[in-house]
Amino acid sequence: MNSVPSGEVVEKAVLLAGRAPSLHNSQPWLWVFEGGTLQLFAVRERSLPNTDAGGRQLVLGCGISLGHLCAALAASGWRTSIDRLPDPNRRDHLATVRFAPARIVTDADLDRAAAIPRRHTDRLPFAAPANWDDFEAVLRSIIDPADAVLDVLPEDSRPALARASQLTADLRRYDAGYQAELQWWTGHVIGSTGVPADALTSAEEQVRVPVGRALPATTGAPRRSEQPADRSTLLALSTETDDTAEVLRCGTALSTVLLECTAAGYSTCPLTHVIEYPRSRAIVADLLGAARQPQVLVRVGTAPDDRDEPAPTPRLPLSEILRFTAPPP
């Protein structure tokens, strides 16, 4: 039996890893296959320095991609071990992934990988997630506390989160650098990156989702008018510090949350804008009631069964996110 997955398996896994969400769909990752290992690098040229000055969201996105990769490989019969930040002299070298043949591929492995192409960021209002209590118990059992702490925020925290969201928007309003990045990356696609117009929402729809990033508004008839206000459940993932390794781990946990929610039939929307400014981030931290660093919020809810699924958001081609330094097996 081979000790390393074939080039075809690696390519398929990296393509699925490339479906991970990232800040404004910037896709700041590069995978390098070196024969026995797969290396993950952050691509700083795809960062948004005015929006993500500290680079946390870049690392978080790479962590989600890493989680997606491991899920894809598990469904193909490969277990993975991860060495994070393996080279202290290369800060962009985020992880080394090693492989071992799996003894068994479970239905859960297959379901999580199958969720990758179905998952998308849904910015419209949600109904409350059905059967949430049972699902929450399962979700908590599979999130490794070494990766991140999962909190389900109570309903009475919604006004404070809406205030944090509005505060972020108000502070960003006069930030020319932020606004320039926002206009550049949203509303159209540039070289298979960016957020297309059909993934945005109208001003009326944004009012119904008060905990959401203020993106350029589109026009058109209101959608989900039967949902007058967003009733999603709000999750928070946090870490002890903002250390790069911890943020990378948090991204892996976020991958698990998004894929498990998708497999369960829920819709999701990750939110990082309230983490970008210290004042709004402090509001979220106060709600957690512990000395932890919030890294991301996630809206989880139910969307109508008869909704029109949006076209998949464009992604970079394999040639731009994967390199082989040794011939694939």
**Percent of the chain clearing pLDDT 70 (strictly above):** 98
Q: What is the mean pLDDT of residues 224-249?
A: 96
Q: Across the strands, what pairs with 329? A: none
What one-letter code names the amino acid at 289? G
DSSP state of 218: B
- What are the pLDDT digits (tens) for 21-34? 999 999 999 999 99
Contact by Cβ (8 Å): 164, 274: yes
- What are the pLDDT digits (tens) for 34-65? 988 999 999 999 999 999 999 999 999 999 99
Rounded to an integer, what distance in angstroms lies between the CA atom of residue 282 and that of residue 4? 45
Q: What is the mean pLDDT of residues 253-269?
A: 98
Rounded to an integer, what distance in angstroms lies between the CA atom of residue 280 and that of residue 245? 23
Q: What is the mean pLDDT of residues 138-166?
A: 96
Rounded to an integer, what distance in angstroms lies between the CA atom of residue 130 and that of residue 301? 8
Other Cβ atoms within 10 Å of 179 Cβ, number: 15
At residue 1, does pLDDT exceed 70? no
Rounded to an integer, what distance in angstroms lies between the CA atom of residue 178 and that of residue 175? 5
At residue 136, does pLDDT exceed 90? yes
Rounded to an integer, what distance in angstroms lies between the CA atom of residue 108 and that of residue 14? 20
At residue 115, does pLDDT exceed 90? yes
- Provide the mean pLDDT of the chain: 95
Token representation of residue 67:
């989680």
Burial bucket for residue 86 (CB in 10 Å: 0-12, 13-18, 19+): middle
**Residue 150, φ and ψ in degrees, nearest 5:** -100, 125
Between 4 and 75, residue with greater pLDDT: 75
Token representation of residue 148:
């991140």
Q: For residue 290, what pLDDT is reported?
A: 79
Q: What DSSP line would sit under 88-118, residue for residue?
A: TT-TTEEEEEEEEE-S---HHHHHHHHHHHH
Contacts of residue 251, Cβ cutoff 8 Å, sequence gap at least 6: 59, 60, 61, 62, 63, 64, 65, 66, 67
Q: For residue 48, what pLDDT is reported?
A: 97
- What are the pLDDT digits (tens) for 165-186? 999 999 999 999 999 999 999 9
Q: For residue 3, what pLDDT is reported?
A: 84
Between 306 and 241, residue with greater pLDDT: 241
Q: For residue 107, what pLDDT is reported?
A: 97
| Counts of helices then strands in the chain (DSSP H, E) | 11, 11
Other Cβ atoms within 10 Å of 9 Cβ, number: 19
Q: What is the mean pLDDT of residues 245-270?
A: 98
Q: For residue 304, what pLDDT is reported?
A: 86
Q: For residue 29, what pLDDT is reported?
A: 98
- What are the pLDDT digits (tens) for 264-294? 999 999 999 999 999 999 999 999 987 899 9
305 pLDDT band, cuts 50/70/90, is confident
At residue 306, does pLDDT exceed 70? no
Q: Which residues of 287-323 are buried (b: 16+ CB within 10 A; e: fewer)?
A: bbeeebbbbbbbbbbbbeeeeeeeeebbbbeeebbbe
Rounded to an integer, what distance in angstroms lies between the CA atom of residue 123 and that of residue 212? 8
Q: What is the mean pLDDT of residues 7-30?
A: 97
- What are the pLDDT digits (tens) for 61-94? 999 999 999 999 999 999 999 999 999 999 999 9
At residue 327, does pLDDT exceed 80? no
Q: What is the mean pLDDT of residues 243-264?
A: 98
At residue 196, does pLDDT exceed 90? yes
Point out the least confidently predicted range of 112-116, 143-147, 305-309.
305-309
Nearest-CA neighbor of 213 among 164, 268, 154? 164
